[in-house]
């Protein structure tokens, strides 16, 4: 079941961190001892970019698309693209041991850009000039907003790290967003813009 392992000398940290924080997850077949990464997006170019830039050719799996017409979702829901890795012991270790807090603590500039393209959002305010920039945190990070804000203060060298709030009025405590202040948002958007495929550039406007 794919348990013959390649060398572990390749640096897979960016792939691992993004799988834990962004639009990806670790998966292990019930009959397989090691895990793989599965990335998902409505943007085909984005999952292909991850596969090509974060994995050596020897670890790249398949790219597939799922039509969502039969899903219990909106009638106009877009197809979902998935890109997979092959199994690797480093992915297994991360699957079993790496949590979101550790992943966030080690986030690189590239990782920040990818995290935003996965989970970030920009909304032009009614005044037409300013933006509201936010990043969805997911259940684990939502459980400890102070950790996220302390990380942001340290990472960006500022006392003004924004705030964490529920995603909307109906959201639960497990569904929060980090509302990013402009000085930090400008840096994150710049990182994201450098790697965004054309289909995702709308997420990285400039002030």
Number of H helices and E strands in the chain, helices first, is 8, 8
Q: What are the two backbone dihedrals, phi and then psi, of residue 90, each rounded to the nearest 5 degrees? A: -65, -35
Q: Which pLDDT belongs to residue 3?
A: 47
- What confidence score (pLDDT) does residue 156 get? 98
Residue 167: per-residue pLDDT: 86
- DSSP result, 89-157: HHHHHHHHH--HHHHHHT--HHHHHHHHHHHEEEEE-TTSS-EEEEEE-HHHHHT-HHHHHHHHHHHHT
Cβ-based neighbour number of residue 126 at 10 Å:
7
- The pLDDT, as a whole number, for residue 168 is 83
Specify the 3-state DSSP secondary structure of 88: strand
Residue spans of the chain under pLDDT 50 = 1-4, 6-7
Summarised one tens digit per residue, pLDDT across range 168-184 is 888 888 899 999 999 99
Which tokens belong to 176? Answer: 């929060």
Q: Is 59:14 a contact under the CB 8 Å cutoff?
A: no
- What's the confidence (pLDDT) of residue 4? 47
Per-residue confidence (pLDDT) for residue 67, from 0 to 100: 84
> Where do the domains of the chain lie, and which CATH numbers do they carry?
13-98 (3.10.28), 102-203 (3.10.28.10)
Cα-flanking dihedrals φ and ψ of residue 190, to 5°?
A: -65, -45
């Amino acid at each position: 079941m794919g348990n013959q392992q390649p060398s572990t000398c390749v640096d897979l940290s960016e792939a691992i961190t993004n799988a834990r924080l962004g639009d990806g997850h670790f998966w292990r077949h019930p009959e397989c001892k090691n895990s793989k990464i599965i990335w998902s997006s409505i943007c085909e170019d984005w999952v292909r970019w991850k596969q090509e830039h974060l994995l050596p050719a020897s670890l790249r799996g398949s790219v597939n698309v799922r039509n969502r017409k039969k899903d219990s979702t909106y009638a106009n829901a877009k197809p979902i693209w998935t890109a997979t890795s092959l199994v690797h012991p480093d992915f297994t270790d991360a699957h079993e041991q790496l949590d979101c807090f550790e992943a966030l603590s080690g986030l690189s500039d590239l990782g920040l850009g990818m995290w935003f393209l996965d989970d970030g959002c920009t909304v032009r305010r009614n005044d037409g000039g300013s933006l509201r920039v936010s990043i969805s945190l997911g259940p684990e990070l939502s459980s400890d907003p102070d950790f996220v804000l302390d990380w942001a203060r340290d990472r960006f060298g500022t006392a003004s790290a924004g705030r964490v709030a529920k995603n909307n009025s109906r959201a639960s405590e497990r569904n929060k967003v980090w509302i990013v202040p402009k000085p930090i948002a400008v840096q994150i958007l710049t990182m994201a813009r450098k790697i965004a495929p054309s289909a995702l550039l709308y997420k990285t406007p400039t002030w």
